[in-house]
Amino acid sequence: MSAINTGDLFTVEGHGVIVTGGASGIGLGYVEALAGKGARVTIFDIDPRRIEAEVGRLRAAGLDVAGQVLDVTDHAALETAVDSVADHYARLDAVFANAGIDSGPGFLTGWAGEDRPRAPEGELERYTDQRWNRVIEVNLNGVFATVRAASRHMKVQRRGRIVLTTSLAGRRVEPAIGSAYMAAKAGAAHFMRCAALELAAYGVTVNAIAPGFIVTNIGGGHAKAAAVQQRMARAIPLGRVGLPADLHGLALFFASAASSYVTGQEIVVDGGWGLG
């Protein structure tokens, strides 16, 4: 029996990749992880200034990264953009459906370990249709449209990797998070399983990464406050908050041949926070 080079399992060199919401936070972490290993990555994001800054920074580092201003709620534009990228790369190996927005406060303010008075704007009777619908439109419908656009190429190729960003908040109720966010993430997780079952016959895998408390700009960047991080670290069994870099390894796993027999799975990355 010939020797097996297990290092090749995680190879993504030359792969064509799309990351929605890729100009900051967790999405940018995915971009850095894959482009750093030789993938050709296109960022879709609504923020032109961040796209310009991050694409410029990554290209200066010698990475093959491009960017396009795109709102995932514009499904027609999303499909056109996915088609264009797939044509440009002459392949579409991995798509990360990551774009999402914060839904604002839940019915309690603050996080575990803080004073947590009621937040009137987050209580059910004051939760507006506009707030609910906007979060569902981005965090659930945008994910659906991204997966649909990717599947049209990957079914023809009979290969591909689709990765959704869900959340620990789709499994566990956190009163500081708005209900729409938790509902959308829970819905995205089950949609991931539906898509995984449907696309398996075509050699396409669909999985999800469910972060816990990760330091990003979402929600106004509250997670970047030292005091918030200290309080959260006391509630997390591993004793610290998470960073986008903590998701790099799993992103590479799901985008590469290393996960070729894994589909329909949601893996939580939370430092043990969800354990209790």
Domains and CATH numbers, the chain: 7-270 (3.40.50.720)
Between CA 242 and CA 218 the distance in angstroms is 14
Q: According to the model, what pLDDT value does residue 1 have? A: 45
The residue among 174, 186, 158, 252 whose CA lies nearest residue 213 is 174
* Cβ proximity of 10 and 88 under 8 Å: no
Q: Decide: pTM greater than 0.75.
A: yes
Residue type, 89: Y
Provide the token pair at 134: 């906007």
Q: According to the model, what pLDDT value does residue 217 have? A: 75
Between CA 260 and CA 276 the distance in angstroms is 32
Residues of the chain with pLDDT under 50: 1
* Angle made by CA atoms 235, 241, 247, in degrees to the nearest 5: 130
Between CA 179 and CA 251 the distance in angstroms is 27
Q: According to the model, what pLDDT value does residue 114 have? A: 65
Active site residues per annotation: 181
Between CA 174 and CA 182 the distance in angstroms is 8
